[in-house]
Every structure is written in structure tokens, then in C-alpha cells.
Amino acid sequence: MAALPEAESLQELEQVIVPTFTRGAVSQARPVVVVVAGQPGAGKTQIADLVQAALDRRGGAVRICRDLYKSAHSRYAELLADDVRTAGVGVRLDTRRWQAVLENHLRAHGFDAVVESALADPEEFRTSSYAYRRAGHRVEVVVVATAEAWSQLGVLDRFLSEAIEGGGRYVSWENHDTCARQLPTTLAVIEAEHLADRISVVRRDGTLLYDNELVDGSWQRRRPAAERAVAYERSRPWSAQETAVFRRDLARTDQRLHRDLHCEDRRLAVQRDAEPVRRIAQPRRRAPGVDYHRLPAQEHKWVFDELIAPSYLSGIVSRDDPRAVYVLGQPGAGKLLAARMVKRAMRPGATQLVGDDFKASHPDYLRLLDEDPRNAGAAIRADYRAWFAEAEEHVRRRRGDALIEGAPGSVEEFLSSALPFAADGYPVELVVLAVREADSLLSTALRYARSLHRGGYPRFTSRKGHDVCFHALAEVVDAAQRHPAIRAVTVIRRDGEALLRQEHSGGRQAAWALAAERMRPYTEQEAMQFLRLHQALRRALPQHRRELDECAALARPLMPAGMQPARIDRPRPSV
């Protein structure tokens, strides 16, 4: 601590702090104190400025903010030069003393006040509220609800702006996180104990999210829920525009950190906090380096426990001899109808696990489908694959039959799912859909067009995603037919006709049956159906005509000779 001697501290208080911050304040018959709350970097100052402007119409108000007094401390600049992260702690004793004296002064004179606070300590607010009410003040609270990524970025941006001018207040992650964590707790205490006459929750742009007023000892407008309003706003998925603004500001701040901050020691002191998006998004190995839609661990667990498990895992029937059946095919192969057929053949009570069901449980998925239907699944893949693995484990623990529908991306991905079932004594069988590449590609476009026509959320698998699964399926079948943990592999057509069933390991019949059906020439009827559907989709999806024509080009070599393009004869020399 760098506390000033008592005489020097008193001199600063009487000659600088009190005259400066009470200048222009007017005594009121019914004074009001407005506490503007939020974690560091949340945007309290901008909201407090609006409140101050409103109160100034009554004659003038006192601004209470501990950060404003730091610059008056004679040792603050020296502490900043030594360590930007702990300078505020060094002068905390004096600034708290000055704030307490200033608040006593304004209460005694009946001044209006605007107080910026993190509301990290319920007991501190309780004491302050009692003191203001004894002095005749009306107490109001305005909470700025801001996502932690934005507030951490705000802390860093403020530091860089002040550092250029020779200052540089900086709040450590530990302090920021403590304030963010304690704020909802304090809000709950305020509402439960009626410590404020009015409480509002706003966004940093001033949008009102929640408002409640205490009248005759009870909240009049709604049930107390300020802390829930703050939690909801912090976890609210960002729009595409908000995400773009954040990424732009994050990149700009990162550039300023290296361009404008010339002091190497200061740059190193804050550089580890230069990616605040990692407070809500997870690091990843591939570009862009951050998984923007990865849920925090607590929310990920809540979705599984409260949404997925009750919806899809509540009807498990325990068996002495449980079994697991996989229905596999590339996107557009017709897995949904095939899985229904297989489930009818299984014992009652089999649990069907479908990846698309888990995708819909992700809070970002429907918005992503609307903004980018081709990459929505990939954006939330980490969460829904983790939920899928948890669901499989849930079924295994209860010894229930499992019907698993999927489009494997690799042999490793399939084995990581199937081998735990085999290890727990499940006989594992595969039902593989043998469908031509052009047919499944066209089916994905048809599904997309139908969703658009119904006005729902369209899902359109990307060509890259389809091709990965198409080629991986052949590798999975080749590995499964020789793997001792796989009991049987059945290859079927899209219409459910069985082509081959290979039991136990050994041989490559299943892989050959899959390859043969994928290369089987079209009958005349099949070719006509394909071409009619292709033409209809070209009219319905004009923006995707090139891709649809590429799909038709894959099918042409397998069509009857009369439906293939005319061949160009070889040139012949003249006589």
C-alpha cells in the first residue's frame, strides 16, 4: 500500500477532492442517488453520463467514482510506472477514505449523486443504502449488463487510450472476474432486502431490459429478477453484426497493443489479456483460432441435462443382452427413412440417437442456419459431438438398445463411437446405405429447397462436407468388415432393398457391394426421375445452378446411352 500520511491525505481531500466534485451541486428537498453498476469495462461511464445529464436539470449532482480520485493521489503516477496491474490497489486505502468523506458531505447537504460501482460486495451496498435512506435520499440502481468478452475488451481499450497520454489504468482478469461474478449476487440481495427504491437493467447502448420499482414495501411491476436479466444478457448469442463489430474492435485493439504501446514492460504486463473473446469462446487448432460458438462448460452441461436427456433419453429400456445398430450414409443418402425401417425391426424401447436432434439443442444453431445454412453444423460441431458421446454413454450405462444414425467423417470417428459399445458387451451391427454420389448431392439440395418453401430453417450440406462423408463411408465399411468388434455389416439400397449381409470379420464383400451399387448404371426410369428433379431444382435454386450442373455431370456417365450428351467424333483427314 502507498497510503499518504493522514495530514497530506486530509489536505488533498479538503483542497482538491471535495471542492472539485461538489462544484455546482444543489441541495434538494428530495435528493436521489443513482448507483450505476457493472463489472470493469462494462460501459458504466457512458450510462452514468446520461444519468448525470438528467440530474443536472434539477440543478446539479455529485459524481462518485473511485477511479476519478486516483489521479489526485500524489503517488499514483509512480505506482503506474512500476506496475499497471496493481497501481489501483496501492492507492485503494486513500481513495476509499476520500469517497466515504465525500458521500458523507453530499448526504449532509442533500445533494443528488451519481455513483459508479461494481456492486461486488453486498454488505458494502447494504451499509451505503441505509446511510443514504437515513439522510432522506431515494436510492435507485441502474445495472449495465454486458458480456464479459466486451467488458474485458473495454478494459484493455481504456488502458491503451490512457497509456498513450502517459497514464493507463488497468484492471486485472482476477479483479474483473470477481466483480462480474459477484454482481448478480448483490442484485439478488438488493431486491430481496428492498435496499433500493428502483432497479433497472440496461445494455451498454442504453436499451432497457428490466425495470422494477418498490412501492409501499413491495415490488410493483414484476417479480424480482434483475440478476436473471443480467445473466441472460451476458449469455445472449450475438447477431452477425455484433460479432463482426467485436472482431473488428478486437483486431484493432490488438494492433494498437503492438503499435501504440512502446513500453515493453507494459505491453508484456497486459498481453496475456489481449484476447478477451476467449472468456466465452474456446481456442482451436485450426483457423481462425477461436471457436466462437463453443458453449461454456456450465451451459454445455445444462443443455444436456435439461434439454437433451429429458427429450431423447427418457425412454430407455434396460436389457440383459443390449445391442447397438448403426445406420450410416453420406448426407442425403436417406438415413432417416432407413433408420425408421431398422427401428421397426428392433425390440421396443430402442433409443434412437440422431445428430440433427442434438444440433437443434444448441442455442446458436437456428440463427446460424438462417445466416449461413451451409456451415451451421460445422460451427457448433464441438458441442453437438460431445453431447452425442455423452448420450451414447448414457444409454450404455442403462444397458439399453441403441440405434445410432450418422454420417461418419472418418474411420477414427466411427470407431471412437462403436468400440465403447463393443467393450461393454454390445453386439455392434452396421446398416450401410449404398447411394450414388450424384443422388445424395441432389437430395441435399432437394431438402434445402423444401425447407425454403415451407418457410422453416433451411439446412444445406456443403459439397466439401458431403464429399468427406462420402469417401469416409467406404473406408469405414472396409475397416468394419475386418474388425473383430463388428458383428455384421448389411449393405442396402436407398429404397431398403438388402444387397448383402456380411457377418463376423473377414472378407471384403461389403465394401465391394457398396462400391458396385454406387457405380451401378441408372435404369431409364431412374435417369428420367433424376433429370426431372435436376431441372426443377435449377428453377427453384437459381443461385446454385452451377453446383447442380456439376451434380448432373457426375450422373451422366451412368445414364443410358440415349440420355448422355452427343459425343464429338474424332477428326478425319479429307481424301
Residue 268 and residue 257: Cα distance in Å, rounded?
Answer: 10
Sheet containing 486-492: which strands, arranged edge to edge?
A: 351-354, 402-406, 324-328, 428-433, 486-492, 498-503
Which of 525, 519, 518, 513 has the alpha carbon at shortest distance from 560?
Answer: 525
In order of their start, the domains of the chain are: 6-239 (3.40.50.300), 323-350+401-437+458-521 (3.40.50.300)
Residue 125 clears pLDDT 60, i.e. is over it? yes
341-374 residues labelled b (16+ CB within 10 A) or e (exposed): ebbeeeeeebbbbbbebbbbbbbbbebbbeeebb
User: Among 76-90, 259-273, 442-456, 464-478, which range has the highest average pLDDT?
Assistant: 464-478
pLDDT single digits (tens) 140-155: 999 999 998 888 888 8
pLDDT single digits (tens) 309-334: 999 999 899 999 999 999 999 999 99
Q: What percent of the chain has a predicted confidence (pLDDT) above 90?
A: 55
Span 166-185, mean pLDDT?
78
Residue 279 has what pLDDT?
38
- Grade residue 490 by pLDDT with cuts at 50, 70 and 90: very high
Residue 75 has what pLDDT?
55
Instruction: Please state the φ and ψ torsions of residue 223, each to the nearest 5 degrees.
Output: -70, 145
- Grade residue 258 by pLDDT with cuts at 50, 70 and 90: low
Residue 529 and residue 91: Cα distance in Å, rounded?
Answer: 80
Residue 290 clears pLDDT 70, i.e. is over it? no
Sheet containing 61-64: which strands, arranged edge to edge?
A: 61-64, 112-117, 32-37, 138-144, 198-202, 208-215, 218-219
pLDDT single digits (tens) 402-411: 999 999 999 9
- What does pTM read for this prediction? 0.55
Residue 442 and residue 532: Cα distance in Å, rounded?
Answer: 11
Which of 201, 205, 154 has the alpha carbon at shortest distance from 40?
Answer: 154
Residue 48 has what pLDDT?
92
- pLDDT: which is higher, 503 or 252: 503
